[in-house]
Structure 1
Amino acid sequence: MGKLWLICIASISVLLPFLCNAFSPETPTDRRVLVLLDDFAIKSSHSLYFNALKLRGFDLEFKLADDPKIALQRYGQYLYDALILFCPSVDRFGGSIDVAAIVNFVDSGHDLIVAADVNASDLIREVGTECGVDFDEDPSAMVIDHIGYAVSGTEGDHTLIASDDFIKSDVILGGKKIEAPILFRGIGHSVSPANSLVLKVLSASPSAYSANPKLKLSTPPSLTGSAISLVSIVQARNNARLLITGSLSMFSNRFFRSGVQKAGSQTKHEKSGNEQFLTEISKWIFHERGHLKAVNVRHHRVGETDEPALYRINDELEYSVEIYEWSGTSWEPYVASDVQVQFYMMSPYVLKTLSSDKKGLFSTSFKVPDVYGVFQFKVEHQKLGYTSLSLSKQIPVRPYRHNEYERFIPAAYPYYGAAFSMMAGFFIFSFVHLYSK
């Protein structure tokens, strides 16, 4: 028994480093991705997009959307870091997956890509609604543009659109400008203006509208112009990221390789911007760009290094935090001039902009207000395209003790003079009254 016990201990000591490495996340990038398909033919017709993900280190697992064995979690643990729905026509998911399971998946901080199409089912439309967008209610409607369509020898109904109305954000779409328009054929969706979490990444032109291309319009279309979103993204409050689009074809090899010429333009591009656009936006969706982390939050009195248990009113203090941005391969210093800290109790008593040393360190100094109570250092940094930072640290602030006040206050010198003059006057009066005849 003694030898067997020693062998077990030795085995555990050998395996322990490997187990630690296996369960310690080195990067914020999601790696395990479940791809649900209507048909396995999509795996080959959209292979360029899938291969680009694999080359960046993603582990893709392909399943039919109605497979009875699929599941997002097992024993309370999620099996995947992200979910791609390339199954616009599915009426019911297989296994334990349903709309509620997908919502819980996102609520747990995981990422999601939803691609609908002309034949989008009510199930996929419901998923889109839960994500904050509304697809056109007409099941036969498509986005039509008689001015901003893509020139094509076989396209006569102008449902093949060449769109170049991108969101202006280098964080979301990368620093390299997308020169060629994006080919899009599918259904449009609308975004509620009241929902600040949903952003239109690719919008239709003012001349576009959503209707059945095979029928004449008898009533005005419900979706028109730039209100039609072709591709939208969502960054939830828990920093989960979502992509919603009404076209599965825009991910296809055919659209990736196809040339494009927008109607009215003399420029013909040999290759559409679909591959660059979807590659760059997928980097954002999977947290390869625009992902921030904050470390080493510190505060102390000026001239000291240790963090105190509490502060006294009117103390001079210093606050600092290190913020880094994930570049896709490593953590780089985050450079910004709009990171602020609040010294907060019910409302901010102090609001200071942190100065940066361009190496990731943000710091400032200020005086504790002349109010005692329980305060918080709060950093709420929200910027377009970046994960939101919410930092808070609680600290009590006490008043002066009775023996910490100044003995003689210059402002009270007149009162001191009045008291001593009264004492001197009383002494003189008493002396004169007692010894005068």
Structure 2
Amino acid sequence: MKNLSFLFIFGISFFPLLCFSFDPETPTDRRVLVLLDDFSLKSSHSIFFNSLKSRGFDLDFKLADDPTLSLRRYGQYLYDALILFSPSTERFGGSLDLAAVLDFVDSGHDLIVAVDASASDLIKNIATECGVDFDEDSSAMVIDHKSYAISGTEGDHTLIASDDFIQSDVILGKTKIKAPVIFKGIAHSVNAANNLVLKVLSASPSAYSANPKSELSSPPLLTGSAISLVSVVQARNNARIMIAGSLDLFSNRLLRTAVQKAGSPDKYEKSGNEQFVTEISKWVFHERGHLKAVNLKHNKVGETDEPAIYRIKDDLKFSVKIYEWSGKSWETYVADDVQVQFYMMSPYVLKTLSTDGKGLYHASFKVPDVYGVFQFKVDYLRLGYTSLSLSKQIPVRPFRHNEYERFITTAFPYYGASFTTMAGFFIFSILYLYNK
């Protein structure tokens, strides 16, 4: 008995360690694993890392070849996001490999990948699995002879100044990025068959991908606006991924340097890099564009309790509350494109929900004249926002035998025919029986 008591007490004290997990309903105070090629990146990219820390993230810095690396322990993930600033790593240490990274994302966790000209096949394969293909030429870089950043020494056309941003307030914030973003790195293209990938920062039409130290012997494979400098992915499980072709994009040097785009008279004391990487990291880590739906309700009009079954042609009311995470608290989400389906094999009713401006969405409609097992379905997909997929099942019955209307006016001819037939049969019977 003493041994059993000891095991019980030990198990209770150890249980919280086994149950460490992140509640996806409140995306804050999360642990992030940062894998580096060299610890010097902690100081050379400190502005970006300090920005994450100031927003409540707990960063765990490790070398990519650390033999103790592990994303899971006792069946639970130890981290909620992963940052790969280790482009030259040919093989991760510990139990981490390509499959482990993909499983991490498949479990709903977030990922940032930044590469440079030394990108290894391992890192490129991770990007390929996420719907992004880097240039096959390992020595190629993005070159632009028109949209380059003017520096003290004229002529580095691999130092791109790009301002071709995605037009989305939820991804890049409502404050417009005025200064161009400085980019020095390699090109990638998005997989046309993958509709989950978005180009966030694109190259100009005059850009191309080639080796800057050699002459072109054949036309480059990637040219113009087909080149993506930074792309993002939102998976169907709402995991978010950012893939950048430049590790220097996050560096202190480019975050604080002055910038002037070739051919433009405007000169900025500070590049748009800091605002860009800060705002896009807020989106990747669900500090913006993260939705949740609560209090899905339905009831008959004039009643408050939710019924167990509806009857055909009942008037019903449907409502749901939707909130958006602001980075610190849940705020009401206001939109005019949220719809509900009353669904059985196919939608019999499709209704746009009205909103009161305080997060409550509602609609009223009549149950169709079809009985069976229906579902209330809300499938909400909007660029930059986490998808909402809600459903609630409810049966619909026909009228009972005593609920049908009696003596319908349009049926009077049939009633008359029936009574006339009975009267005729009665008269015929009397005449047949008693007439000699």
1:336-369: CA deviations, max 9, x gaps?
A: 1110011111111110111101111111111111
Structure 2 counterpart of 1:387, one-letter code: T
Shift in CA distance, 175/375, structure 1 to aligned 2, threshold 3 Å: same
Match of 2:364 in 1: 365
- Aligned mates of 2:51, 2:223 — CA distance in 1: 34
Deviation at 1:22, TM superposition (A): 9.6
Displacement, 1:209? 0.3
Other-structure match for 1:71: 70
Aligned to 1:38: 37
Given that 2:148 and 2:157 are in contact with CA atoms closer than 8 Å, whether structure 1 keeps it comes out as yes
SS of the counterpart of 1:60?
A: strand
Please say if residues 316 and 366 of structure 1, whose CA atoms lie closer than 8 Å, have aligned partners that are also in contact: yes
Aligned to 2:294: 295
1:320 aligns with 2:319: yes
CA distance in 2, matches of 1:26, 1:406: 50
SS in 2 for 1:109: coil
Q: Deviations over 1:388-431 (max 9, x none)?
A: 00001111111122222122222212211232344456667778
Q: Percent identity?
A: 77
Give the Cα separation in 2 of the matches to 1:25 and 1:250: 29
Which residue of structure 2 lines up, in the alignment, with residue 185 of structure 1? 184
Residue in 1 that maps onto 2:26: 27
TM-score (norm 1): 0.93
Unpaired segments of 5 or more residues in structure 1? none
SS of aligned partner of 2:171: helix
Aligned-partner residue type, residue 316 of structure 2: L
Q: Per the alignment, in what secondary structure is the counterpart of residue 230 of structure 2?
A: strand
Question: Which residue of the partner structure matches residue 396 of structure 2?
Answer: 397
CA distance in 2, matches of 1:93, 1:436: 111
Stretch deviating more after TM superposition (168-177 or 403-412):
403-412
Is 2:256 the counterpart of 1:254? Answer: no
Q: Which moved more, 1:28-37 or 1:323-332?
A: 28-37
- How far apart in 1 are the matches of 2:29 and 2:407? 65
Task: Specify whether residues 200 and 26 from structure 1 end up closer, same or farther in structure 2 by C-alpha distance, changes over 3 A only.
Answer: closer
Return the alpha-carbon distance in structure 2 between the equivalents of residues 131 and 405 of structure 1.
58
CA contact (8 A) 2:320 2:360 kept: yes
Unpaired runs of 5+ residues, structure 2, are none
Is the Cα–Cα contact under 8 Å of residues 30 and 286 in structure 1 kept in the other structure?
no
The residue number in structure 2 matching 1:413 is 412
CA distance in 1, matches of 2:30, 2:134: 30
- Aligned-residue CA RMSD (Å): 2.7
Q: Which residue of 2 aligns with 1:278?
A: 277
**Residue pair 1:125, 1:134 contacting (<8 A) in 2 also:** yes
The amino acid that maps onto 1:290 is: G
d(CA) in 1 for partners of 2:116, 2:23: 39
Change (3 A) 1:24 1:385: closer
Cα deviation, residue 23, structure 1: 7.6
User: Could you tell me whether the CA contact under 8 Å between 2:28 and 2:328 is conserved in 1?
Assistant: no
Equivalences for residues 322-341 of structure 1 within 5 A:
322-341=321-340
Alignment of 1:78-157 (within 5 A): 78-154=77-153, 156-157=155-156
CA displacement, residues 289-315 of structure 1 (integer Å, 9 cap, x when unaligned): 000000001111111111111111111
CA distance in 1, matches of 2:267, 2:226: 27
What is aligned with 1:158? Answer: 157
Deviation per CA, 1:159-192: give whole Å up to 9, x if none.
0000000000000000000000000000010002
C-alpha deviation, 1:193, in angstroms: 2.1
Q: Which letter does structure 1 place at the counterpart of 2:304? A: T
Q: Which residue is equivalent to 1:49?
A: 48
Letter in 2 for 1:336: A
Deviations 1:220-278 (A, max 9, x none): 10000000000000000000000001100010000001011001000001100000011
Counterpart Cα distance in 1 of 2:136 and 2:20: 49
Contact persistence 1:180–1:273 (CA under 8 A): yes
Q: How many residues align?
A: 430
Aligned equivalents of 2:231 and 2:434: distance in 1? 101
Distance 2:154 2:122 in 1: 30
- Cα distance in structure 1, aligned partners of 2:414 and 2:394: 38
Q: Structure 1 residues 362, 206: CA separation in 2 closer, same or farther (over 3 Å shift)?
A: same
Provide TM-score, normalisation by structure 2: 0.93
- In the alignment, is the contact (CA less than 8 A) between 2:19 and 2:76 conserved in 1? no
Cα offset, 1:21, TM superposition: 12
Query: Relative to structure 2, which stretch is displaced further, 100-109 or 190-199?
Result: 190-199
- Tell me how far apart the structure 2 counterparts of residues 412 and 153 of structure 1 sit (CA, whole Å): 94
Is the contact between residue 20 and residue 78 of structure 2 (CA under 8 Å) also seen in structure 1?
no
Residue identity in the other structure for 1:280: E
Equivalent residue number for residue 166 of structure 2: 167
1 CA distance for matches of 2:429 and 2:56? Answer: 99
Query: What is the alpha-carbon distance in structure 2 between the residues aligned to residue 23 and residue 285 of structure 1?
Result: 16
